[in-house]
Amino acid sequence: MAKVNWSERGTPVACRLPAERPHRASRLIAVLREARQATGRNPETGRIEPGSGALSGNWLGAVGYLMLVDQVGSAYRPAGVPAVPGPPVVRALRYFAPGVGEPEREALYALRCSLVHDFGLVSVGGPGRTHHFMLDDAEGGPIVRLPPEPWDGRAGHCRRFNATWVNLRALGDLAEDVFRRLSTLPEPAAARPGRPASPVLRDGPARPAYRRALSTRAASGDRKPVGGGT
């Protein structure tokens, strides 16, 4: 297997580990690198490489970016910002992408559930989370385009006019922006009782710093849909 450089230097999600444990790497960095590779983006900058635009609608890459946002919402919020309720994807977008509206946040969470659990495009959930999706990768399109008439959750009623469109190129850009905003926060202090880290860990200082951000990894106009609906 080809080796991959999992260097985390210069990011606040880096965890300074003893030299005898070099095999440990941030899973946040790992999923970021994998998502960039799957969507034809530069592995260092996250920008789409020339000639690789066709990969921007890659579903596995979209899953990676949604997992990245999910992990951010599970572990971080800016210091001094009150905690908000909701699933991690929604929390991350509220903390680090305040320009995304509530209906769009809920739609992206529904897409995350649908793709991650079933690699599908249908979500039947609570208010704001019942959608059947169509995906595109048009340059310059909005991240989410909600239907004028919401889908009622019945399989026989899936139509283009009640589909929720998600632009996977814009989704990747959004996730990159969430990570960029996280990375510009001050270097976290050592988390220990009585001294919370910044950015704040949702798990709190009483638990090991970055417990949820670590895993073991071996170093190694007309819209053209790319999936969904009828």
Flag whether 53 is in a domain. Answer: yes
Residue 77: CB partners within 8 Å, gap ≥ 6?
Answer: 83, 91, 95, 199, 200, 202
Distances, alpha carbon 210 to alpha carbons 8, 48, 123, 202, in Å: 13, 29, 31, 10
Q: Which domain holds residue 73?
A: 24-228
In this prediction, residue 56 carries a pLDDT of 94
Flag whether 18 is in a domain. Answer: no
| pTM beyond 0.85 | no
In this prediction, residue 88 carries a pLDDT of 96
Which helix (H) or strand (E) segment holds residue 135: the answer is: strand 131-136
In this prediction, residue 24 carries a pLDDT of 58
| Domain count across the chain | 1
In this prediction, residue 20 carries a pLDDT of 53
Q: Are the beta carbons of 174 and 194 closer than 8 angstroms?
A: no
Flag whether 113 is in a domain. Answer: yes
Flag whether 197 is in a domain. Answer: yes
pLDDT (tens digit, 0 to 9) for every residue of the chain, 230 residues total?
333 444 445 444 444 444 555 555 678 999 999 999 999 999 999 999 999 888 999 999 999 999 999 999 998 988 888 899 999 999 999 999 999 999 999 999 999 999 999 999 999 998 899 999 999 999 998 999 999 999 999 999 999 999 999 999 999 999 999 999 998 887 654 334 444 444 554 433 333 333 333 333 333 344 444 555 43
Report how far residue 192's alpha carbon sits from residue 106's, in angstroms, rounded to the nearest whole number: 34
In this prediction, residue 14 carries a pLDDT of 45
Flag whether 19 is in a domain. Answer: no
Flag whether 15 is in a domain. Answer: no
Flag whether 4 is in a domain. Answer: no
Report how far residue 172's alpha carbon sits from residue 177's, in angstroms, rounded to the nearest whole number: 9
Flag whether 3 is in a domain. Answer: no
In this prediction, residue 214 carries a pLDDT of 39
